[in-house]
Amino acid sequence: MSETQRIAVIVGGLSSEHDVSVLTGLEVLEALDPAKYEGFPVYVGLDGQWWVGDALRERGNYIPDAALKRKLTRVSLNVGHAYEGGRWVLRDVGGGSMLSKPKTFAFDMVIPALHGTWGEDGTLQGVLAAERIPFAGGGVDAMSLTINKMWTLGAAAQAGLPTPPTMIVAKGDDLDEALDKWRGDYPVFIKPNFLGSSIGARVAKTAEDARAALGEVFRLDHAALVQRCVPNLVEYNVAVRRQPDGTVVTSAIERPLRKEESYTFKDKYLSGDMASKLRGGSNPGLVNATRVLHPPELSNGRGEKIRSWAVQLFEALDLAGAPRLDFLCDEKTGELWFNEVNPLPGSFGYFLWEAATPAVGFSQLLDDMLTEARNRVRSRVRVVDPLATGGAIFTKRGV
């Protein structure tokens, strides 16, 4: 690849994980190899509008107000009209006139850095796939499956992985009736079915606590999971990816440290002076969330079991990019359960790969993900001509 590739890194998004997504995207921009790639941020605001501009490279400019937006350009991706001159383009929404065309911003590939709904649920991936734009990470099918935690648990169980007893409760259900059907013991862990970053997750010790927790979740999501709390809980996370030669490999394993009964958004991003550092830009990233890498207690074979299960599910779900798979463990008995997939973890879990054997730097990780994106587009081209597939009904005019 001799020509520098233009990479649109999409940040923000219509999600309660909007701010985390900005951090992920800005770290990606800093890590892209300038010898191969020219990255630029595309900011999706909470109102759904898309913006570009150099000011979006600075953390201190988020969330942009009306004054800052006057220095930016509002753009759109016109599906069906996004490919021009050998590249895809974003078009200036308000620019142009009868005598001039709107300004365009060309790109070759996309790195979606949008956590949560709209960006991590297959919606954005569907828009990009409609234009055959190469993009890093999982496809429409994998993303739409893994955003649904209950579906993912079902797929994991089908693949032979142990999962904790869980039931789903939908918004509008009779909570008393739903909880009466619960056959597990309290305490239970309650979390949104479609959100990540531990937002809205909490432990409920009684049915009354559970009703209150479900009410809180339904402000954020239309479905919640009620899950048996694992006694003596420790959590283990590992990332998985496919190397350019096709080999599937795993990262270092981490054990998150938590201050409360469950690993919360506060533990991940706002512990200690984390908030001021992240907003001020002096912190290199989300790496500083408290964790133990290479937990010594996994040397007894549990670590290899976690890795084996992670690879098994990675391939079964046709995952891509560098998703992180999370597991629960009873520290006293050593029993393990699969918990969930994070297809778009903060900073793509680069600290897990830097600690892997062999170590992989963030720039190399992104380079491999973009190579994978190009290869997936090429390998998944489909014949769409009805005449060629025996599905023709109408005669082509002019043929």
User: Rounded to whole angstroms, how far apart are CA atoms 146 and 150?
Assistant: 9
Residue 202, strand partner residues = 190
Instruction: Please enumerate in sequence order all residues whose Cβ is within 8 A of that of 27, keeping only pairs 6 or more positions apart, or say none.
Output: 284, 285, 286, 347, 350, 362
Query: What pLDDT, on a 0 to 100 scale, did the predictor assign at position 96?
Result: 59
pLDDT tens digits for 83-119?
Answer: 998 999 999 997 655 667 789 999 999 999 999 888 8
Averaged pLDDT, 75-87: 92
Instruction: Report in angstroms the alpha-carbon separations of 239 from 33, 248, 256, 259, 353.
Output: 22, 11, 14, 23, 8
Residues 31 and 15 placed together within one structural domain of the fold: yes
Residue 385 belongs to some domain of the structure: no
CATH, residue 215? 3.30.1490.20
pLDDT at 277 over 60: no
pLDDT at 162 over 50: yes
pLDDT at 293 over 80: yes
Query: What pLDDT, on a 0 to 100 scale, did the predictor assign at position 97?
Result: 58
Residue 391 belongs to some domain of the structure: no
pLDDT at 75 over 80: yes
| pLDDT level of residue 209 (50, 70, 90 thresholds) | very high
Helix (H, G, I), strand (E, B) or coil at 233: strand
CA angle, 326 as apex, 188 and 262 as ends, to 5°? 35
Residues 257 and 370 placed together within one structural domain of the fold: yes
Residues 302 and 337 placed together within one structural domain of the fold: yes
Enclosing domain of residue 193: 166-228
CA atoms within 13 Å, Cβ hemisphere of 252: 22
pLDDT at 279 over 50: no
Residue 381 belongs to some domain of the structure: no
pLDDT tens digits for 2-58?
Answer: 589 999 999 999 988 899 999 999 999 999 999 999 999 999 999 999 999 999 999
Residue 200 belongs to some domain of the structure: yes
Residue 149 belongs to some domain of the structure: no
With beta carbons less than 8 A apart as the criterion, state whether 77 and 127 touch.
Answer: yes
Instruction: Among 195, 213, 228, give the residue marking a domain's end.
Output: 228
**Range from 2-6, 230-234, 317-321, 356-360 carrying the lowest mean pLDDT:** 2-6
Q: Does the global pTM surpass 0.85?
A: yes
User: Rounded to whole angstroms, how far apart are CA atoms 111 and 125?
Assistant: 10
| pLDDT level of residue 239 (50, 70, 90 thresholds) | very high
pLDDT tens digits for 260-276?
Answer: 555 454 545 444 433 44
With beta carbons less than 8 A apart as the criterion, state whether 365 and 322 touch.
Answer: yes
Instruction: Report in angstroms the alpha-carbon separations of 193 from 44, 108, 197, 292.
Output: 23, 34, 12, 27
| Nearest in space to 88 (alpha carbons), one of 107, 104, 114, 110 | 107
pLDDT at 343 over 70: yes
Residues 235 and 215 placed together within one structural domain of the fold: no
Helix (H, G, I), strand (E, B) or coil at 309: helix
CATH, residue 292? 3.30.470.20
pLDDT at 169 over 60: yes
- Mean pLDDT taken over the chain: 89
| pLDDT level of residue 387 (50, 70, 90 thresholds) | confident
Residues 317 and 329 placed together within one structural domain of the fold: yes
Residues 244 and 320 placed together within one structural domain of the fold: yes
Q: What percent of the chain has pLDDT over 90?
A: 72
User: Rounded to whole angstroms, how far apart are CA atoms 207 and 261?
Assistant: 17
State the total domains in the chain: 3
Helix (H, G, I), strand (E, B) or coil at 384: coil
